[in-house]
């Protein structure tokens, strides 16, 4: 039996940022949930080996990872098995255990995550990455060479310290021939729940400027929303809990744009 | 990796270990044969070279976090500024975030270049007594990506420690990228001769951050770096209009306070979110001088005025220094 884990995966989208802490895992999680609500079968491959956030955000805890004939069985976030996940978080006995690995070992595990996981039929596989342009990113691309990578969504916050790093990630995409599906500006303004005043906690406009500067599509802005952070903490589905929120609208628009560019 | 048999994923036994190349954790590592042959065991001569080079550096402090985007670079930069306010002290700030170097921008040094002299690379001076080194100074364009695997990053870090002409330094602050990987192992390895005083750990209040930070603390214990303490950054936001506080990054599991209680570590303090901090960083200015009245700057003051019990005397001395500087503002 051929262990080509991605044989039945229609689209692969990377979620990247040069910068840490901008919301890659958050955006990956919300994109995945939105796609599932839109009737798609989705997978999330979490290649952040030192700081895997996806299991908590989808409250999948520490299930066992089993093997079947076709490879490792991914963990499903839902009983209908619409959302499959693989993360090193599932493989650690102790969730506080540090994964203190140098590049080659990280590369080897990521290779296994790509090739040896029985993803089955998926409409989209989202790949959540750590910040940077190093071993993990190269390992993902090398292992995906046999399979098409549709492109990457780049996440930034509005401030220059963030866009400064994301510019380098854009260069990485150009050098590795990864199509940039667009840029998401996360943490874009905070609306005070007490008085509705909007504060630009992490500055303003940098994501849109970056898109213009680099000729990329601007996918949209997601506000800094304590309800979003709280639901992620608890591993709840934000989109089901707060469908009236402007954050929901922002995420839906981003998903629609990404889907259209995949179908195009 | 035989996960279903219950064996946990072990980390690398270390290239100098007796188990190098032979342990079950070595399966699948591309360097397995090198380690098994014993070739990797010889200590790197650079460690001794670095020890000698850094005899003129009195204290070395790492700024760490398992999590990205919590404010390591912001803290490293401002700790350096605060320490450098005492003209009699020489401060050095080393940025070992190879892929995402933020320090040049935050210190207002974008576009600066490094010069080579007979005694090595000259760091860039932002003040007469504050020297900075970052890969950012070696890149010619803000779009340049450093697409390097571990070994090349390690080589760069070795050069930063061995080949930079730091001179006489009272405090060397090392800013790191998030994680527990090549950069962190290399810094610890290359400074194993010269010694590290300790690490300051930065986190934000929410569990998604703390779960990564606990791993970093485990890393420190494993490689025997004393943890000076933990700072909880982005701890609440005070609306400038109505002055109510919102927990944007909620401490759903008790925040850094509960983690510090559980792990018996000092909580050095909490710094609130302030849009002016981000703006100062973007503009390359110290917010301690730009907005000394901001709740965040006041929080820094409280951090240093609170009683901090450190594992080593000289760590406490650093924060005493910080108090003196702060009060003079």
Q: A241 in contact with B at a CB cutoff of 8 Å?
A: no
DSSP-derived pairing of the beta strands B57-64 and B169-175: parallel
Q: Is B108 annotated as belonging to a binding site? A: no
Q: Which helix (H) or strand (E) holds B281?
A: helix B275-283
> Looking at the partner chain, which of A175, A229, A234 has a beta carbon nearest the beta carbon of B145?
A175
Q: Give the minimum alpha-carbon distance from A263 to chain B in angstroms, rounded to a whole number.
A: 30
> Looking at the partner chain, which of B30, B100, B278 has a beta carbon nearest the beta carbon of A19?
B100
Chain B residues within 8 A of A200 when measuring between CB atoms: 275
**What number is the ipTM of this complex?**
0.93
pLDDT tens-place string over residues A203-256? 999 999 999 999 999 999 999 999 999 999 999 999 999 999 999 999 999 999
Q: Is B281 annotated as belonging to a binding site? A: no
Chain A residues within 8 A of B219 when measuring between CB atoms: 98, 100
Query: Which one has a higher pLDDT value, B313 or B248?
Result: B248
- The nearest alpha carbon in chain B to A97 belongs to B215
Q: Which residue has the tokens 């080579």?
A: B116
CA distances from A33 to A38, A241, A257, B72, B172 (A): 9, 12, 15, 31, 45
| Homologous superfamily (CATH) for B46-327 | P-loop containing nucleotide triphosphate hydrolases (3.40.50.300)
Q: Is A195 annotated as belonging to a binding site? A: yes
Yes or no: say if A21 and B68 are a contact pair by the CB < 8 Å rule: yes
CA-based radius of gyration for chain A: 18
pTM: 0.89
Question: With 0-12 CB in 10 A as exposed, 13-18 as middle and 19+ as buried, what is B306?
Answer: middle
Q: Taking residues A135-152, report their average pLDDT.
A: 92
Q: A232 in contact with B at a CB cutoff of 8 Å?
A: yes
Angle at which helices B313-327 and B295-305 pack, to 10 degrees? 140
Q: What CATH architecture applies to the domain A9-263?
A: 3-Layer(aba) Sandwich (3.40)
pLDDT at residue number B16: 64
Q: Do A132 and B100 touch (CB under 8 A)?
A: yes
Domain boundaries, chain B: 1-42, 46-327
Q: Mutate which of B20, B69, B190, B237 to test chain A, going by most A C-beta atoms within 10 A?
A: B69
Q: Is A182 annotated as belonging to a binding site? A: no
Q: Do A201 and B237 touch (CB under 8 A)?
A: yes
Q: Is B111 annotated as belonging to a binding site? A: no
pLDDT bin (cut points 50, 70, 90) of residue B316 is very low
Chain A residues within 8 A of B29 when measuring between CB atoms: 104-105, 108
Q: Is the pLDDT of residue B208 over 80?
A: yes
Q: A93 in contact with B at a CB cutoff of 8 Å?
A: yes
HSE at residue B34, side-chain half, CA atoms within 13 A, is 11
Output DSSP code: residue A193.
Answer: T
DSSP-derived pairing of the beta strands A42-46 and A67-68: unpaired
Q: Do B68 and A19 touch (CB under 8 A)?
A: yes
The DSSP result for B78-127, as a single string, is: HHHHHHHTSTT--EEEEE--SSS--HHHHTT-TT---EEETTEEEPEEEE
pLDDT tens-place string over residues B3-52? 322 233 456 777 666 777 888 778 877 778 877 877 666 788 999 999 99
């Amino acid at each position: 039996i051929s262990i080509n884990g991605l044989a039945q995966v229609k689209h692969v989208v990377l979620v990247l940022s040069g910068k840490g802490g901008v919301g890659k895992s958050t955006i990956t999680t919300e994109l995945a949930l939105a796609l599932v609500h839109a009737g798609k079968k989705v997978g999330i491959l979490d290649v952040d080996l030192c700081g895997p956030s996806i299991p908590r955000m989808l409250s999948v805890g520490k299930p066992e990872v089993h093997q079947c004939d076709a490879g490792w069985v991914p963990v499903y976030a839902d009983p209908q098995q619409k959302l499959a996940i693989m993360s090193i978080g599932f493989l650690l006995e102790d969730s506080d255990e540090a994964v203190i690995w140098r590049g080659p070992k990280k590369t080897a595990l990521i290779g296994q995550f790509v090739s040896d996981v029985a993803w089955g039929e998926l409409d989209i596989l989202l790949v959540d990455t750590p910040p940077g342009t190093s071993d993990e990113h190269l390992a993902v691309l090398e292992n995906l060479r046999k399979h098409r990578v549709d492109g990457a969504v780049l996440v930034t916050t509005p401030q220059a310290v963030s866009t400064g790093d994301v510019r380098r990630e854009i260069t990485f995409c150009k050098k590795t021939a990864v199509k940039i599906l667009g840029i998401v500006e996360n943490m874009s303004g905070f609306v005070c729940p007490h008085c509705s005043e909007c504060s630009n906690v992490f500055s303003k406009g940098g994501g849109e400027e970056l898109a213009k500067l680099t000729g990329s599509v601007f996918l949209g802005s997601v506000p800094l929303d304590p309800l979003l952070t709280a639901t992620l903490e608890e591993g709840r589905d934000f989109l089901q809990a707060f469908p009236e929120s402007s954050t929901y609208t922002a995420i839906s628009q981003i998903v629609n744009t990404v889907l259209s560019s995949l179908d195009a | 990796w035989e996960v279903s048999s219950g064996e946990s994923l072990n980390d690398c036994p270390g290239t100098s270990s007796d188990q190098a190349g032979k342990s079950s954790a070595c399966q699948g590592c591309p360097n397995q044969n090198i380690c098994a042959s014993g070739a990797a065991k010889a200590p790197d001569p650079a460690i001794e070279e670095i020890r000698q080079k850094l005899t003129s550096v009195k204290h070395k402090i790492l700024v760490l976090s398992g999590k990205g985007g919590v404010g390591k670079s912001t803290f490293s930069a401002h700790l350096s500024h605060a320490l450098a306010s005492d003209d009699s002290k020489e401060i050095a700030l080393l940025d070992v975030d190879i892929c995402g170097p933020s320090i040049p921008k935050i210190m207002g040094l974008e576009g600066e270049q490094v010069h080579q002299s007979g005694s090595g690379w000259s760091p860039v001076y932002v003040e007469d007594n504050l020297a900075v080194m970052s890969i950012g100074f070696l890149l010619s364009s803000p779009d340049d990506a450093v697409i390097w695997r571990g070994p090349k990053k390690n080589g760069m870090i070795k050069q930063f420690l061995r080949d930079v002409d730091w001179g006489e330094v009272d405090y060397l602050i090392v800013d790191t990228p998030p994680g527990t990987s090549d950069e962190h192992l290399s810094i610890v390895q290359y400074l194993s001769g010269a010694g590290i005083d300790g690490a300051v750990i930065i986190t934000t209040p929410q569990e998604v951050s703390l779960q990564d930070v606990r791993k970093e603390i485990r890393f420190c214990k494993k490689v025997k770096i004393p943890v000076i303490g933990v700072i909880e950054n982005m701890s609440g936001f005070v609306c400038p209009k109505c002055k109510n506080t919102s927990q944007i990054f909620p401490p759903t599991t008790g925040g850094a306070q509960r983690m510090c209680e559980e792990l018996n570590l000092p909580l050095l303090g909490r710094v609130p979110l302030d849009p002016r901090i981000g703006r100062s960083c973007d503009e390359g200015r110290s917010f301690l001088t730009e907005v000394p009245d901001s709740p965040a700057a006041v929080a820094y003051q409280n951090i240093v005025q609170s009683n901090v019990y450190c594992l080593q005397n000289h760590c406490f001395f650093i924060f005493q220094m910080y108090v003196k500087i702060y009060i003079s503002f």
